[in-house]
Amino acid sequence: MEGLPPIDFRGELNAEQFAAVTSRPGPALVLAGAGSGKTRTLTYRVAWLLHQGARPWDILLLTFTNKSAKEMLERVEDLTGVPRGQFWGGTFHSIGQRILRRNAAAAGRQPDFTILDQKESEQLFSEVVKETDGAFIKDKTNPKAAVILDAYSHARNTLRPLEEVLTERLDWMKGGPDKLLAFCARYEARKAEGNLCDFDDLLALWLKVLETDPAALAHYRQRFQHILVDEFQDTNRLQSRIIDLLGDRHQIMAVGDDAQCIYTWRGADWENIMAFPQRHPGTEFHHIDTNYRSTPEILAFANEILRHRPKVDGFDRRLLAVRPAGPAPTVFTVGDTSQQAKLVGRKILQLHNEGHAFGDIHVLYRAHYQSLELQMELTNLGIPFVITSGHKFFDLIHVKDVLAHLRFVHNPRDQVALSRLLCLLPKVGPVAANRITQAAQEVEAAQGRGLVRALRDPAVLRKVPETAKDDFNDLTITLEDMLEGLEAARAKPAPTNPAPDLFTAATEASSVKVARTPAETTRVCIEGWYGTHLKTLFPDWRDREQDLTGLLGFAAKFEDLGDLVAQVALLNGESSDKKAEPEEDMLRLTTIHQSKGLEFPIVFLLGVADGLLPLTRAIDDGDVEEERRLFYVACTRAENMLFLFAPRFAVSGEGYRPLDPCRFLEEMSPDCYELADYAHRRL
């Protein structure tokens, strides 16, 4: 392309980047390690192609986020002066919709089709279920639209048989998948009738166009002389199939890092990057391992993680350091997760007093519930923090639902809590909830049975909408069970010689443990009506169950339900009005998944123990390699300092649960980190 400003590619790139940027047009797999300048490599590759005569519209650049697409195209425009609008660059879904509008007939749509967002898709699916089988939606044990739609989406993105996925993911549902298959078929028909596309259609119908319209396939194969794919390890089978069809001449450069494939739970297929050389013969490997982010000590630790993963030819790598030396990563062994929170809080204050900004410190964890005790400790210490991966723990919807159960059985006059519970029922809104509450209050006044038991009266049930009666009955049974357990616990005499603390109780089998009534009450709630409600309502119910397990551990710290409810209110009151302003110095808390692609001066990693990282569920399922990759991703976020915390016990509803040492740490050389043993110290 003529008129481009000169670029000193060799001078502006390191040797690894230069080799990848200037490689031949054939298939290339660029394995770019953490912090190695992947975006820079892709940007200069586009500029190089333009300098070699390619036209902007000959290049297809596929990314996973609008932010990364915008950033790359802006950099290309700055480098070359070519307006970003001349490129075919963007997310898979944005490119898919452009192609569908040009080939709408082959996709079974009109060019002016409407794209549904997630809520609109769920609403349409709900309408389909009601139209197809009205009784299905009334059965409280059946999955709601969002859960079915999530399984359908997974099947489409992984190109797996729908019946197989429905059977696998909804194995708890009674009956076979026949009705669900009918719902999905009708959902497809309704979208076609209304000229609608959901988010998955932007890829699924794109593939349909390529597979069923030879002219369209030939056109785009000719159009895209160069295909560049970012974060290739995160592609699913549907995306990989599209790329393979377009790249019939293997004119593909895939850029990614197999060690950072951490999204298989949402359809990403690790095999896509591993099998790329087999699908595209003659693939050139390019390793970009020079890391500009982290100190040599942090990289030595990360390399130890890589060293113990399964070996695959061509994929062995070792991150190379260019920065000056810094402190070695420190592994703190602690007695339990409560001590972990205290030590993290103390260490953060120490760093802040030494001149480090709170905003330079990020705390990472495998699952949201693992940050609960730290959130409490930070609030007590007055350390400002923000959770960048979502809401604070006690603001999570499912946690607030369970807390509403606890609040109501503790104080039956808490109409706010009761209204929240009633509004969880189908067809019950604030007005209906108020009618039910008034009826229960009248029964209570007449019979003196207490409001919890008054809810079970037939006079109250008559105020409940017909479609909600079964759920209401189960809810009130759960509430009564919680109340009876609470009353029994109150009547039970206190032990004469309780253990001084739970750590001692867990290690001394002969000691008398204090009854943790709030934990028992919470468990009745979770295992009762709400547990079923959770499973049918939320596609990610397994993750939410983990959060509620964390709530059990929190409840185990209290001997009185009133103290538990009051403490939650105080914690929320002290922190709910805090918001992260750009100029405000605040500590950041986030999950490892949400931290991917980011970098932080100082990283604290919580819960480095089997059962927490890797998660128990992953161990049971035999899927620890993705957990290893998560461990690697977490550690490679750190620029200057890395602190890891390895608790020996976790608090659960039954008391203290022993944790095995993290298998990833156990296999690593102790020379790559410093060990600080706090397990037997009191903080």
**pLDDT per residue as tens digits for the range 116-147:** 999 999 999 999 999 999 888 777 778 889 99
Q: Encoding tokens for residue 37?
A: 């300048």
Q: Are 100 and 197 in contact (CB under 8 A)?
A: yes
Q: Are 60 and 13 in contact (CB under 8 A)?
A: no
Q: What's the mean pLDDT in 191-198?
A: 96
497, HSE (Cβ side, Cα atoms, 13 Å): 3
Residue 496: the pLDDT is: 52
Q: Are 586 and 352 in contact (CB under 8 A)?
A: no
Instruction: Give the residue with greater pLDDT, 2 vs 260.
Output: 260
User: Of the given ranges (52-56, 188-192, 647-651), which has the lowest mean pLDDT?
Assistant: 647-651
Q: What's the mean pLDDT in 503-532?
A: 65
pLDDT digit string (tens) for 423-468? 998 888 999 999 999 999 999 999 888 999 999 999 999 999 988 8
Q: What's the mean pLDDT in 218-227?
A: 95
CB under 8 A, 24+ apart: contacts of 180-185: 180/148, 180/151, 182/132, 182/133, 183/125, 183/128, 183/129, 183/132, 183/133, 183/148, 184/148, 184/152
Q: Encoding tokens for residue 99?
A: 């192609």
User: How sure is the predictor about 511, in pLDDT bands with cuts at 50, 70 and 90?
Assistant: very low
User: Is residue 267's pLDDT more than 90?
Assistant: no
What are residue 591's phi and psi, to 5 degrees? -75, 160
Task: In whole angstroms, give the CA distance from residue 296 to residue 299.
Answer: 5
What are residue 101's phi and psi, to 5 degrees? -70, -25
Q: Which helix (H) or strand (E) holds 5?
A: none
User: Is residue 213's pLDDT more than 90?
Assistant: yes
User: How sure is the predictor about 289, in pLDDT bands with cuts at 50, 70 and 90?
Assistant: very high
User: How sure is the predictor about 241, in pLDDT bands with cuts at 50, 70 and 90?
Assistant: very high
Task: In whole angstroms, give the CA distance from residue 375 to residue 365.
Answer: 12
Q: Are 30 and 255 in contact (CB under 8 A)?
A: yes
User: Is residue 110's pLDDT more than 90?
Assistant: yes
User: Of the given ranges (83-92, 142-151, 552-561), which has the lowest mean pLDDT?
Assistant: 552-561
Residue 579: how many other CB atoms lie within 10 Å: 8
Task: In whole angstroms, give the CA distance from residue 9 to residue 21.
Answer: 8
Which is it for strands 320-321 and 330-336: parallel, antiparallel or unpaired? Answer: unpaired
Reply yes or no: is the peptide bond before residue 614 cis, omega within 30 of 0: yes
Q: Pseudo-torsion of CA 440, 444, 447, 448, nearest 10°?
A: 160
Contacts of 649 by beta carbon, 8 Å cutoff, 6+ apart = 335, 336, 337, 503, 506, 656, 657, 658, 659
């729908």: which residue's tokens?
Answer: 162
User: Is residue 165's pLDDT more than 90?
Assistant: yes
User: Is residue 501's pLDDT more than 70?
Assistant: no
Contacts of 268 by beta carbon, 8 Å cutoff, 6+ apart = 233, 234, 235, 236, 261, 262
Residue 488: the pLDDT is: 78
DSSP 190-244: HHHHTTEE-TTHHHHHHHHHHHH-HHHHHHHHHH-SEEEESSGGG--HHHHHHHH
Closest CA to 179 of 149, 136, 138: 136
Residue 313: the pLDDT is: 81
423, HSE (Cβ side, Cα atoms, 13 Å): 13
Residue 509: the pLDDT is: 41
Closest CA to 456 of 425, 438, 479: 479
pLDDT digit string (tens) for 570-609? 776 654 445 556 678 999 999 999 998 899 999 999 999 9
User: Of the given ranges (66-75, 111-120, 359-368, 488-497), which has the lowest mean pLDDT?
Assistant: 488-497
pLDDT digit string (tens) for 5-38? 999 999 999 999 999 999 998 899 999 998 898 8
User: Of the given ranges (157-166, 385-394, 672-681), which has the lowest mean pLDDT?
Assistant: 385-394
User: How sure is the predictor about 88, in pLDDT bands with cuts at 50, 70 and 90?
Assistant: very high
């699913």: which residue's tokens?
Answer: 236
Task: In whole angstroms, give the CA distance from residue 419 to residue 453.
Answer: 16
Which is it for strands 284-288 and 28-32: parallel, antiparallel or unpaired? Answer: parallel
Mean pLDDT of the chain: 89
Torsion sign (Cα): 324, 327, 328, 330: negative
Q: Which helix (H) or strand (E) holds 168?
A: helix 162-169
CA distances from 574 to 101, 380, 383, 567, 568 (A): 51, 9, 11, 11, 10
Q: Encoding tokens for residue 562?
A: 């009133």
User: Of the given ranges (22-36, 100-114, 517-531, 665-679), which has the lowest mean pLDDT?
Assistant: 517-531
User: Is residue 166's pLDDT more than 90?
Assistant: yes
Which residue type, as a one-letter code, is found at position 588?
A: R
Percentage of the chain modeled with pLDDT above 90:
63
Task: In whole angstroms, give the CA distance from residue 247 to residue 240.
Answer: 10
What are residue 600's phi and psi, to 5 degrees? -140, 140
User: Is residue 651's pLDDT more than 50?
Assistant: yes
Beta strands in 441-489 (DSSP E): none
* Angle made by CA atoms 201, 206, 207, in degrees to the nearest 5: 105
* Angle made by CA atoms 293, 299, 300, in degrees to the nearest 5: 165
User: How sure is the predictor about 394, in pLDDT bands with cuts at 50, 70 and 90?
Assistant: confident
